[in-house]
Amino acid sequence: MNTIQDKIAKKFFLASICILCTAFFLFAGDVAEFKDLGFSEDGTKYSFAQYGIEDKTFQAWAEIYVVDIPSNNFVKNGVFSTKASVQTASKTSMTVFQELYDKNKAFIERYAKKRASIDKTLYIRANESKDAGEIIRFKDYEKITSQDDVTYSLQRIIHKTGSGEKTESSFYINLEKIDANGVVIATQLIGTPQLKRKGVLDYTIERVFVDESGKNLVIIVEKKIYDPRGSSIRYMVEAAELK
């Protein structure tokens, strides 16, 4: 016969299993690893990669992108990918990325010359609970003088329809340049608000930085993508020449 202690222990064990299952369901989905590959010599191109393992198949994948900053678009033939497959199931995501990089090394390294400098980082998302739509403000460190104290204000604007797997969303970033008197002296719209992405639930600005000249801006954006078991994380880049 089970003792009272045995019954309590059994209930506690079952409750623990339920909690673990619930947590697994809430956080299921695969998360990509972002990798900075750097700027071109003139700072007008930026390259990055993302890679990971699909949570359902445990197959690795990798993607590499070379972005032309002035046009905020990929350079011609500047997108490389290895899709998740049976062939990648036995490999780590880092291995798949490295193989993809090595295969296209000559092209990538024409543009990826200088890694993004921490000294040129204008914003890093530190608070996970921060509202993704909140205004981000940072200084133009190249121009801080008693006469010319310039600030930038950056905000993500999102439009979304549907829910779950039927979600369609688009977004853009509104960037304002503000002088020492609080007057907006320049405004830029960064992104493609007309582009609707299926299954993307949210966009969060993770990091903002510039090249060595301080003129070419790169914004790292986290995409939360619908997954029947939760949500998956991918990354993208928006870029612009600062006015």
Give me the domain span that covers residue 59. Answer: 28-115
Give residues with Cβ within 8 angstroms of 113, minimum separation 6: 38, 39, 40, 41
Burial class (CB in 10 A: 0-12, 13-18, 19+), 120: buried
**How many Å apart are CA 227 and CA 243, to the nearest integer?**
39
Q: In the chain, what percentage of residues exceed pLDDT 70?
A: 82
Q: What is the pTM of this model?
A: 0.84
238 and 141 in a single domain? The answer is yes
pLDDT at 143: 53
The domain boundary, picked from 69, 85, 115, lies at 115
Whole-number Å distance between alpha carbons of 164 and 27: 15
Which pLDDT band holds residue 15 (cuts at 50, 70, 90)?
very low
107 & 147 share domain: no
Range with the lowest mean pLDDT among 71-75, 83-87, 116-120, 145-149? 145-149
Could you tell me if residue 206 is inside a domain?
yes
Q: Per the domain annotation, does 2 fall within a domain?
A: no
d(CA 151, CA 137): 7
Q: Within this chain, do residues 98 and 122 fall inside the same structural domain, yes or no? A: no
Residue 79 in any domain: the answer is: yes
Kindly state whether residues 56 and 123 are assigned to the same domain: no
Mean pLDDT, rounded, for 211-236: 92
121 and 205 part of one domain: yes
Q: Are residues 155 and 220 in the same domain?
A: yes
Of the listed ranges 18-32, 36-50, 169-183, 224-238, the one predicted with least confidence: 18-32
Q: Is the domain of 121 the same as that of 142?
A: yes
DSSP H helix total and E strand total for the chain: 3, 13
Residues in the chain, overall count: 243
Same structural domain, 37 and 54: yes
Q: Is the same domain home to 147 and 230? A: yes
Residue 1 domain flag: no
The answer to whether 76 and 121 have CB atoms below 8 angstroms apart is: no
Q: Is the confidence at residue 142, as pLDDT, over 70?
A: no
Q: What is the DSSP string of 159-195?
A: EEES-GGG-EEEEEEEEEEE-TTS-EEEEEEEE-TT-
Identify the band that residue 89 occupies on the pLDDT scale cut at 50, 70 and 90: very high
Provide the pLDDT confidence category of residue 9 given band limits of 50, 70 and 90: very low
Please, are residues 197 and 105 in contact by the beta-carbon 8 Å criterion? no
What is the per-residue pLDDT for 228? Answer: 83
Query: How many independent structural domains does the chain possess?
Result: 2
Judge whether 4 lies within some domain: no
Q: Are residue 121 and residue 241 in the same domain, yes or no?
A: yes
* Residue 131 near residue 158, CB atoms below 8 Å: no
Q: Which residues contact 121 (CB under 8 A, 6 or more apart)?
A: 207, 208, 209
Q: 103 and 124 share a domain?
A: no
Is 185 within the bounds of a domain?
yes
150 or 41, which is more confident? Answer: 41
